[in-house]
Amino acid sequence: MGMLDWFKSIVTGDKSASGQAPAAIAAAGGEDAGAELAGLNFKTAVDAHMKWKVRLESYISGTSTEQLKVEVVSRDDQCPLGKWIYDQGGEKFGYSETFFDMKVHHAMFHRCAGKVLTAAQAGDSEGATRLLNAGEYVKASERVKMLLARLFVMASEGKEAIDSHVRWKARLRDFIQGKSQEELSAEVISRDDQCTLGKWIYGIGGERFSSNPAFAVLKSRHAQFHRCAGEVLEMAGRGDLHIALHMLEEGAYPDASEQVAEGIVKLFEKARTAA
């Protein structure tokens, strides 16, 4: 299981899968490999957030060496995640409803943590433990974790979708020239819901941008691009390799490819402007 799959398991609530991740990721070359996005290591952020419960439990039991202050813990801009939210996070994802929800629930989490700490400092260990293990604290904590994971998946798959689109020309050229081990078919390539970008468009991208007119434009251009790519493969399938290679360089295919790239840029530009 890779890092992206681990975050997806958090989003879907698959606890068995998320529990397998650390060892698998470590074996792949580092527990936090691939988790860095927009100035935040999302894996570290999730881990640090979940450790709050252990920190508060230790404080309640009197075994903690930390000097926690209610006025600091109650604020949502003092921890590493909070500082990122009010800095690079806001700059990069301020247009996102998921980011906004995460920001709201993160603030709620810290208010709940402050209440736990207040009870503990008042000598009400039983009340503090009850607040920590049930009610708003637990809900806010789980919500922050899930929304952080969703934000990582959205950002990663969006970038992956863009990168994969750029690679189409090389993939088709290698296939036509017999340099590729891929089994590409015109029937599949002509569809706009099978590639990474297509799955993003019909999945989380659509959920995120469906009300944005620029998204409808991108979706239409992407469908046209795949029709053109299918025509290139059909030509190659007929044995007209020279013509197929020429189609990659001039005409409808490169025009459609460029329009998809422009559509992606305009979508994110309009999203930022709307924010």
Which CATH number characterizes residue 72's domain?
A: 1.20.120.30
With beta carbons less than 8 A apart as the criterion, state whether 161 and 93 touch. Answer: no
Among 112, 48, 137, CA closest to 84: 48
Query: Which residue's entry shows tokens 């503090």?
Result: 128
Same-domain status, 93 and 176: no
Same-domain status, 107 and 181: no
Looking at residue 218, what is its pLDDT?
A: 94
Same-domain status, 229 and 137: no
Same-domain status, 147 and 246: no
Q: 232 in a domain, yes or no?
A: yes
Q: Classify residue 267 as exposed, middle or buried by CB count within 10 Å of its CB (0-12, 13-18, 19+).
A: buried
Distance CA 153, CA 203 (A): 12
Indicate the pTM of the whole model: 0.62
Tell me how crowded residue 137 is: count the other CB atoms within 10 A of its CB. Answer: 22
Structure tokens at 17: 């899968």
Query: Which residue's entry shows tokens 């970008």?
Result: 197
* 158 to 128, 258, 259: CA distances (angstroms): 41, 17, 17
Same-domain status, 178 and 253: yes
Distance CA 194, CA 200 (A): 10
Structure tokens at 13: 């609530």
Same-domain status, 147 and 71: yes
Contacts 24+ apart (CB under 8 A), 245-249: 245/173, 245/176, 245/177, 248/169, 248/172, 248/173, 248/176
Q: Classify residue 106 as exposed, middle or buried by CB count within 10 Å of its CB (0-12, 13-18, 19+).
A: buried
Walking along the chain (275 residues) 10 residues at a time, the average pLDDT comes out as: 77 63 47 72 91 95 95 95 92 78 95 97 96 92 91 74 82 94 94 88 82 93 97 96 96 93 79 56
Same-domain status, 150 and 196: no
Looking at residue 24, what is its pLDDT?
A: 45
Looking at residue 26, what is its pLDDT?
A: 47
Distance CA 60, CA 209 (A): 44
Looking at residue 64, what is its pLDDT?
A: 94
Q: 162 in a domain, yes or no?
A: no
Q: How many domains does the chain have?
A: 2
Looking at residue 12, what is its pLDDT?
A: 78
